[in-house]
Amino acid sequence: MSENRSLLCDTATTLLRDATDIHALEEAGFATLLVGEADGGFGGDWGDVFAVLRIAGYEGFDLDIAGLILDPVPGDSLEQGAFAKVSLAAGALDRILEMSIDYVNTREQFGRPLAKFQAVQQSLAILAVEAAAVNSAGAGAALAFDHGDAAFEIAAAKMRTNQAIGIGTAIAHQAHGAIGFTQEYPLHPFTRRLNQWRMEFGNDRYWSEKLGAAVVDLGADGLWDEITRRSDRNTG
């Protein structure tokens, strides 16, 4: 991670943990995250947007920071909205993974921590793998936005995120048992949001029909050509 990105993440973590109104974030400059330095902005890239929104998802931040950052940015608002949900979900999935790990390491049944049971270990490994997929997909989509056209990547990333949310939230709840189903316990603010994001800015049907038709248009050899052509834009 670049030094600028690290500083940005530190600032975002502090602010998003404590801020109760969006103006504090506006004052801190998040509204101009993607505006060039020459124009008085932060001069960030889409990787920075991913990093900040990921932290918002991780912290369970409830205000519309995605809108604050992205509303002034020209482009397809559905794609941008989907990107925001992917980024938030990447953080939220990592958070429920962390909560699940802490819980099974602490909670004892049959005379030992739940974490000692292979069935529990294997189940949390699946949650970790799903969270990893969303984090990778979000970072990949951010790179594509930096190159201008992210139509393919955002379709893929949002679909993969929707899949991970379905699998991941179920595992987190299963690991927590009944306590995770209470209003008091802080798991549901993350899992309920995640399940809501799954439907917003394109559910599976929307993106799979769209991407499927686009892939078929490319032809049998075209899919691989397209995937490699697009990622080769990242020439160092």
Partner 1 sequence: MQSFAIHPFETPDTAADLRAQVRRIVSECEADWDATDRANSWSVADPAFSARLGDEGLVGMIWPKRYGGHERDPLERNIVLEELLAAGAPVGAHWIADRQTGPLLLRYGTEEQREKYLPGMAAGRAYACIGLSEPGAGSDLAGVKTTARKTDSGWIINGQKVWTTGAHIAHAILALVRTEPESERQAGLSQLLFDMDTPGVMVRPIINLAGQHDFNEVFFEDVEVPHDALVGEEGNGWRQVTAELALERSGPERYLSSYALLRYLIAEQGSDKAIQPLIGKLAAELWTLRQMSMSTAAKLAQGEDPAGEAAIVKDLGNSYEQQVPLAIQAVLDADFDMHDGSDLARTLTLLLQTAPSFSLRGGTREILRGIIARGLGLR
| Binding residues vs partner 1 (CB under 8 A) | 93-94, 97-98, 101, 104-105, 115-116, 118, 120-122, 124-126, 128-129, 131-133, 135-137, 139-140, 143, 152-153, 155-157, 159-160, 163, 204-205, 207-216, 219-221, 223-224, 227-228, 231-236
Give yes or no for a contact between 104 and 114, defined as CB atoms under 8 angstroms apart: yes
Q: What is the DSSP string of 69-98?
A: HHTTS-S-HHHHHHHHHHHHHHHHHHHHHH
Residue type, 94: D
Nearer to partner 1, 7 or 125 (CB): 125
Entry field: residues in the chain = 236
Distance CA 223, CA 4 (A): 36
Nearer to partner 1, 22 or 214 (CB): 214
Looking at beta carbons only, is 29 or 222 nearer to partner 1? 222
Q: Shortest gap between Cβ of 187 and partner 1 (angstroms)?
A: 16
186 DSSP assignment: T
Return the DSSP state at 108: E
How far apart are CB 82 and partner 1 at their closest, in Å?
Answer: 12
| CB closer to partner 1 out of 186 and 212 | 212
Least Å distance, CB 65 to partner 1, is: 19
Tell me the closest approach of the beta carbon of residue 74 to partner 1, in angstroms: 25
Q: How far is the CB of 140 from partner 1 (least distance, A)?
A: 4
Q: What type of residue is 127? A: L
CB 185, min distance to partner 1, A:
19
Report the residue number, 185 or 206, with the smaller CB distance to partner 1.
206
Nearest to 171 by CA among 226, 89, 104, 75: 104
Cα gap 100→180, rounded to integer Å: 10
The Cα 158–Cα 87 span in angstroms is 10
Nearest distance from residue 46's CB to partner 1, in Å? 13
> Which is closer to partner 1, CB of 32 or CB of 100?
100
CB atoms within 10 A of CB 63: 16
Contact 131, 163 (CB under 8 A): no
Give, for 42, the enclosing helix (H) or strand (E).
Answer: none
Q: Which one-letter amino acid corresponds to residue 124?
A: L
Which CB sits closer to partner 1, 68 or 103? 103
